[in-house]
């Protein structure tokens, strides 16, 4: 199964204009590696997935990520997608068991979330529903958006800094009968030429990246003129719990205190998370994109079945209040999540 995927993924990559993520020079594939013709840097191919990373995953180093990816790949044939998710988290000792269960539920809802994103994009621009669009997802994780997007667009690519997550995404794609090329790389150093994509999507990823400003500038670089960046990210100053550690009040603390607070109450490393506020996001995006639109996302009805009665009540109140101008301004400052669309113009 691994061999079949490796061959298929490399074949899907054949028509893509890949470039060196470091110097942007042209690259050639030679057996189990890619070689830059300019800076001579070499990039390995692991299980059919090119590894174009300039630096490693913030949560696992290269060696540990390779080992985790190999473990998942070897056991993937034994499980369906949901079982593989549970297997993955059962072998993630750095994550406390209560959070593992919540992360599994979140991953299973990814396709429903993706449908909401696609609807929002269609409302923003009719041009984005054309089938021949080039679409990139940065931080594709378990592949939920990829499965939904490939139903609409014929050219979809998924990238992630974690090789292990790409192995999990492969399982989801196999079960859905979809074929999407997968690449391991950093969001700050994309292995694509200027102006290649019509749409770049990065959902719940920006807060995990090392250099957020560079992620935005790289997204802009690879977009065509009038291309769209769709960005979703939690609000630092949300009045709800922090969505990664399910703890209230984290964002209101000075950044130097956040890790100690989270580790004390949850036993989780919080050094690699950096949520942004409304004004921090505007400061990040406005110098790059001439047109930036913030919206307050709805909660998909398919997700409500997993919520408690109290949480469903909160959602109903939120839905009503966000339509009122006064409360809309309040939610932009203290709401749980942002959906942001940036359009590139000459």
Q: Identify the helix (H) or strand (E) that includes residue 342.
A: strand 337-343
What's the burial of 224, exposed, middle or buried (CB within 10 Å: 0-12/13-18/19+)? Answer: middle
Average pLDDT, the chain: 91
Rounded to whole angstroms, the Cα distance separating 268 from 246 reads 11
Model pLDDT for residues 130-169, shown as the tens digit of each residue? 778 999 999 999 999 999 999 999 899 999 999 999 999 9
Shortest CA distance to 192 belongs to which of 136, 130, 128? 136
Model pLDDT for residues 49-108, shown as the tens digit of each residue? 999 999 999 989 999 999 999 999 999 999 999 999 999 999 988 888 888 888 898 899
Q: What is the largest CA-CA distance in the chain?
A: 60
Q: Is the pLDDT of residue 129 over 80?
A: no
Q: Which residue has the tokens 């969505």?
A: 243
b/e sequence 275-296, b meaning 16+ C-beta within 10 Å:
bbbbeebeebbeebbeebeebb
Q: How many Cβ atoms from other residues are within 10 Å of residue 147's Cβ? A: 22
Domain spans of the chain, in order of start: 2-235+276-343
Q: Are 72 and 263 in contact (CB under 8 A)?
A: no
Q: Which residue has the tokens 């959602």?
A: 315
Rounded to whole angstroms, the Cα distance separating 198 from 229 reads 9
156 phi and psi angles, rounded to 5 deg: -125, 135
Both tokens of residue 291? 């047109």
Which pLDDT score is estimated for 302? 58
Q: Is the pLDDT of residue 234 over 70?
A: yes
User: Which CATH fold topology does 2-235+276-343 show?
Assistant: Rossmann fold (3.40.50)
DSSP characters for 15-58? TS--B-TTT--BEEEETTEEEETTT--EEEEETTEEB--SS--S
Beta bridge partners of 134: 155
Model pLDDT for residues 278-335, shown as the tens digit of each residue? 999 999 999 999 899 998 887 666 556 666 677 778 778 878 888 887 888 888 898 8
Q: Calculate the alpha carbon distances from 197 to 15, 26, 193, 222, 223 in Å.
A: 14, 18, 9, 6, 5
Average of per-residue pLDDT across 228-252: 92
Strands 197-203 and 223-234: parallel
Q: Which residue has the tokens 């560079």?
A: 214
């Amino acid at each position: 199964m691994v061999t079949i995927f490796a061959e298929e993924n490399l074949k899907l990559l054949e028509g893509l204009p890949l470039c060196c993520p470091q110097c942007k020079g042209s690259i050639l594939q030679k057996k189990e590696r890619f070689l830059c013709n300019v800076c001579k840097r070499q990039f390995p191919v692991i299980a059919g997935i090119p590894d174009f990373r300039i630096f490693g995953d913030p949560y696992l180093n290269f060696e540990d990520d390779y080992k985790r990816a190999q473990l998942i790949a070897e056991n993937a044939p034994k499980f369906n997608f949901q079982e593989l998710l549970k297997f993955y988290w059962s072998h993630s000792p750095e994550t406390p068991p209560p959070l593992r269960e919540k992360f599994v539920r979140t991953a299973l809802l990814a396709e429903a979330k993706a449908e909401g994103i696609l609807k929002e994009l269609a409302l923003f621009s009719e041009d984005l529903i054309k089938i021949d669009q080039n679409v990139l997802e940065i931080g594709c994780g378990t592949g939920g958006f990829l499965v939904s997007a490939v139903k609409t667009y014929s050219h979809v690519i998924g990238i992630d800094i974690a090789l292990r997550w790409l192995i999990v995404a492969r399982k989801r794609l196999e079960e859905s009968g979809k074929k999407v090329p997968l690449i391991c790389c950093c969001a700050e150093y994309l292995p694509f030429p200027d102006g290649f994509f019509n749409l770049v999507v990065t959902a719940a990823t920006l807060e995990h990246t090392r250099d957020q400003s560079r992620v935005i500038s790289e997204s802009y670089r690879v977009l065509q003129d009038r291309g769209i960046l769709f960005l979703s990210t939690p609000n630092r100053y949300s009045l709800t719990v922090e969505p990664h550690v399910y703890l209230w009040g984290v964002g209101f603390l000075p950044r130097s205190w956040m890790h100690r607070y989270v580790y004390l109450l949850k036993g989780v490393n919080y050094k690699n998370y950096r949520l942004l506020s409304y004004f921090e996001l505007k400061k990040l995006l406005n110098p790059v994109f001439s047109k930036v639109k913030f919206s307050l996302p709805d909660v998909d009805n398919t997700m409500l079945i997993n919520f408690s009665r109290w949480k469903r009540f909160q959602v109903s109140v939120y839905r009503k209040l966000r339509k009122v101008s006064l409360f809309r301004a309040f939610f932009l400052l203290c709401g749980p999540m942002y959906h942001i669309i940036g359009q590139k113009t000459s």
